[in-house]
Structure 1
Amino acid sequence: MNILPDNLDSLPPLAQSVLTYAQQGIDLAESWLLSPAAWSQFALLVIAFLAARLVARRSSPMFTRVVSPVAEATGLFAEARRFLVSLLPLALPLLAYLFTAAGESVTRSLFGSGAVIAFGKRIFLLFAVRAFTRDFLKDPFLRVMGKYVLMPVMLLYIFGLLDPVAAKLSETVVGAGNIRFSLMSVIRGVIAGALLFWLGRWSTGQSRSYISRQEELRPATRELATKAAEVLIFGAGFLLLMNIMGINLSTLAVLGGAIGVGIGFGLQQIASNFISGVILLLEGQATVGDYVELDGGEAGTIVKMTARAAILETYDGKWIVVPNEHFITTRVVNYSDSGSANRYEAPFSVSYETDINLVPGIIEAAVAELDFVLTEPDGPDCELRGFGDSGVDFCVEFWVNGIDDGRNKFTPQVLFAIWNALKAHDIEIPYPHRVVEIKGVGQGLAALSRVESL
């Protein structure tokens, strides 16, 4: 059967290539259908598939029972055993591939050819790749890469088009200005860059998790180690990507000089913030978990420190991005983290008719009964602060763990304790009194009485 037209040379090159490959496929199919050797290879493919299915069905339950660890098992060995069990969906196509490879060696020795069984072997390999993409890859990014990159490559490999397509892509050159790349290098760089970026992100997540569990290190040291690991991982990935794309690393010297000039003229603030972040991590003046207040009025708990800025979370849940440079060049009040002791005050007043010598003992005893009030470095201390317009002013000082913020609210509970203690001892809490004197009232009454007498 011939599908090639007589005027093939007048058609576009792409149409000529498609028709030529289609004619080759038709010729190959006709030769297979008319060849006894091809039919014997089809039979071997069916036998290999049935044998693989039988072996997989019989061995999978036993393999699962022997290899699977107990549910509560942890550690590297247990994870490796779970990984092996997760590969069971690949058992059937891989066994069929192995049995077909054995059958291919037999047919080549008997008939001198094995094109049909070799094609079937590649089909079984495609099924294995499909099962790997569908059942094994759980990460969304890897699943997309398997679906849109690995599967098309396997299809080209099955039909013998992988090498011609790769050669055509290598011959096609694209570029901008003096920079020239083959289309194959661009595609390889995009795929490799995406995989390296995913691997770098996964590696930094694992390293961050591991470093955060090292409780013997200071928080600032852990944060610095995390940033250093991130820079090393992505730096190594960048150099590897340049090598994959065939870019000479010596050309990076020119790029480094250009970046240096850019930093000198336009990126001074970014460079300053980056260096300030490194200084903060090294010195530990402020780290994640600290409650800080800056001269500019920004106040909150540091929830994240990046290479450029620190992120503060306020009492009402808002996030404030503060450049790292502000922590170096301005005054910063650090109230330390939530596990440190801080002192607060609760002011109140009593009536002038109160025996003020009894007030300190009553209030200190009442505040000391609160479970969040500390005895170290000092217990509650009630002090006389002054004599006000309406009453005698006192203030009780107390120490607590953490910050008196919207989540803790220590001071309101202390004020409740003061109110209840004063009421229990019949001590009056004063409110403002005003004495109004009206001048001239006596003269007005005398004049009114003379008028009435007339």
Structure 2
Amino acid sequence: MENQPEIIQQALELAEDGSTLARDWLTSPVAWSQFALLVTAFLAALLVSRRLMPALKKLLTPAEDHQTVLSIARRFLVRFLPLLLPLLAYGFTAIGESIVVSLFDSGAVIAFGKRVFLFLAARSLVTQILNDPFLKLLGRYVLIPAAALYALGLLDDVTLALTELQVSLGNISFSVMALIRGGIAGSLLFWLGRWSTRHSTEYIGRQEDMRPATRELAIKTVEIIIFGAAFLLLMSIMGIDLTTLAVLGGAIGVGLGFGLQRIASNFISGVILLLEGQATVGDYVELDGGEQGKIVRMTARAAVLETFDGRWIVVPNEDFITTRVVNYSDSGSANRYEAPFSVSYDTDINRIPALIEAAVATHPGVLDAPYPPDCELRGFGDSGVDFSVEFWVNGLDDGDNKYTSDVLFLIWNALKENNIEIPYPHRVLEWKAGQDPRDPA
């Protein structure tokens, strides 16, 4: 045994100690009484949980159509009912432990049983309660092994060994335990931050009395606060002095001043856009550079426009501040369009405005406010008299909406029904008698 590696020797020593402890327990009347108490506590917990489980489930389960805060809390508590059996067994064992210790001045076996019941509770939590894939993965590879080590009484030894094991990165040294603790805490904090952000976004998105720009600003503010607090809490858990962040902040400021000017400019421009509300998600905009489309997403750096032909255009936020932007749908305002047409010179043009305005007004999408349809005389063309009808609609004349096309159909039908001729280009040729018409002179 002396020639074996150190880790093999330690394992053999632990196995020998475990076999000695097991032999002592099996031959001790005090240990057998504690085993009996553990079995009794488990059977009592099993009996009580079978009686309580249906009643608690019925009490905590609300009606399916109830969506109040209390109903949501009750549904959340129902999910934890599988923990009832191991926790009752743990509680009954704790009650019996005080009696056994007072009688025999020993409680090693029953203390081991309590730790086993906690391990069973952790296992039930991971296998039957947790549904989130990340939490389930964390429970399977972190919580259950830690609970198993605690049940065997090895958790303190393993923690001490990992704390003494150091990892060096240049001039900085970390213990393996600090890295593990930081990784677990960071994963949980940022998962909680993502979960909180998602639910906050859903809640703020349902506030219809808020302007869209205000909602977007509130969502971004909540996201920054949640993840900022998670980062600071993680630094504190890992034992990093928060005063060092002042140096880090100074370095970031220098970087923003030199290499990240455009990123900083776009970020600040995005905040200004959200504050002013001149362009927000859902608006149809046209930029000075010719880009146009519906804003489907606004990030910290850019806005994403979706065109009617299915393309996505990423436009930096700075372009919305420094260039001319035409917003076709800000505050739900209506838009005006024109439909030009011509009639023959033989037409009584005094009839045309009233006739066309009445026809266009029948379209369900044409508005009476801010102005009803207005037919105007525009000029006297080569082939006919030129008119144009102006009309207002809510929405854009593209994609699913075909307002101008529909209005032109209405104009065509109205003119045909009233026997009004729509002219087409024609020319009148004159030539002198005796001259060959093929002669251009």
The TM-score range, normalised by the shorter chain, is over 0.9
Shift of 1:400: 0.9
Question: Is the contact made by 2:279 and 2:330 (CA closer than 8 Å) also made in structure 1?
Answer: no
The answer to whether residue 28 in structure 2 is matched with residue 35 in structure 1 is yes
**SS of match in other structure, 1:427:** coil
Partner deviation per Cα, 1:2-59 (whole Å, 9 max, x = no partner): xxx3x2xx33332222222222222222222223333333332222222111111111
Map residues 357-436 of structure 1 onto 2, 5 A cutoff. Answer: 357-433=350-426
1:51 aligns with 2:44: yes
| Aligned position for 1:167 | 160
Amino acid at match of 2:249: G
**Compared CA separation, residues 425 and 115, structure 1 to 2 (3 A):** same
2:83 match: secondary structure: helix
Change (3 A) 1:325 1:444: closer
Alignment match, 2:106? 113
Q: Once structures 1 and 2 are overlaid, which stretch shifts more, 326-335 or 298-307?
A: 298-307
- Contact preservation (8 Å) 1:273, 1:323: yes
The DSSP-based 3-state class of the residue aligned with 1:358 is: helix
Query: Is the CA contact (8 Å cut-off) linking 1:338 and 1:403 kept in structure 2?
Result: no
Asked whether the 8 Å contact 1:374–1:400 carries over to 2, the reply is yes
Paired residues, number? 438
2:307 to 304, 314, 329: 314
Q: Shift in Å at residue 329 of structure 1?
A: 1.0
1:202 corresponds, among 191, 195, 210, to 195
Matched, 1:336 2:348: no
RMSD across aligned positions (CA): 2.3
Q: Deviations over 1:274-316 (max 9, x none)?
A: 1111111222221222211101111111222221111112112
Between the aligned partners of 1:439 and 1:21, the Cα distance in structure 2 is 127
Contact 2:383–2:426 under 8 Å retained in 1: yes
Deviates more, 1:142-151 or 1:388-397: 388-397
CA distance in 2, matches of 1:338, 1:402: 12
- For the structure 1 residues 423 and 159, does the alpha-carbon distance in structure 2 shift closer, same or farther, using more than 3 Å as the test? same
- CA distance in 1: counterparts of 2:371 and 2:8, whole angstroms: 90
Among 219, 226, 239, which residue is 1:246 paired with? 239
Q: Tell me how far apart the structure 2 counterparts of residues 444 and 285 of structure 1 sit (CA, whole Å).
A: 65
Gaps of at least 5 residues in structure 2 are: none
Which residue does the alignment assign to 1:221? 214
Q: State the distance in 1 between where 2:6 and 2:348 align.
A: 108
Partner of 1:348: 341
Q: Which amino acid aligns with 1:394?
A: F
Structure 1 distance, partners of 2:140, 2:434, is 99
Paired residue secondary structure (2:332): coil
Name the SS for the 1:426 alignment partner.
coil
Aligned to 2:182: 189
Corresponding position of 1:452: none
- Shift in Å, 1:406: 0.3
> Does structure 2 retain, via aligned residues, the 8 Å contact 1:337–1:402?
no
Partner of 1:273: 266
- In the alignment, is the contact (CA less than 8 A) between 2:267 and 2:300 conserved in 1? yes
The separation in 2 between residues aligned to 1:238 and 1:315, in whole angstroms, is: 41
The TM-score normalised by the length of structure 1 is 0.90
Aligned to 1:357, what secondary structure does the other structure show? Answer: helix
The letter for the 2-side match of 1:231 is I
* Residue 114 to residue 410, structure 1, CA distance change in 2 (3 Å): same
Which AA in structure 1 matches 2:350?
A: N
Deviation digits for residues 194-219 of structure 1, max 9, x if unmatched?
11111111222232233333334332
- For 1:193 and 1:436, locate their aligned partners in 2 and report how far apart those are by CA, in whole Å: 88
Deviation at 1:108, TM superposition (A): 2.5
Shift of 1:436: 7.5
The 2-side partners of 1:369 and 1:241 are apart by: 64
Task: State the partner residue of 1:325.
Answer: 318
* Aligned twin of 1:177: 170
Give me the whole-angstrom Cα distance separating, in 2, the residues matched to 1:398 and 1:351.
23
**Structure 1 CA distance for aligned equivalents of residues 75 and 227 of structure 2:** 30
TM-score, structure 2 as length reference: 0.92
Please say if residues 287 and 305 of structure 1, whose CA atoms lie closer than 8 Å, have aligned partners that are also in contact. Answer: yes
- 272-281 or 102-111, which moves further after superposition? 102-111
Q: Structure 1 residue runs of 4+, over 4 Å off?
A: 434-445
- 3-state SS of the aligned residue for 1:249? coil
Change (3 A) 1:24 1:352: farther
Q: Which runs of 5+ in 1 are unaligned?
A: 446-454
Identity among equivalent positions (%) equals 68
Question: Partners of 2:62 and 2:261 in 1: how far apart?
Answer: 55
Structure-2 separation of matches of 1:431 and 1:156: 93
Distance 2:115 2:132 in 1: 26
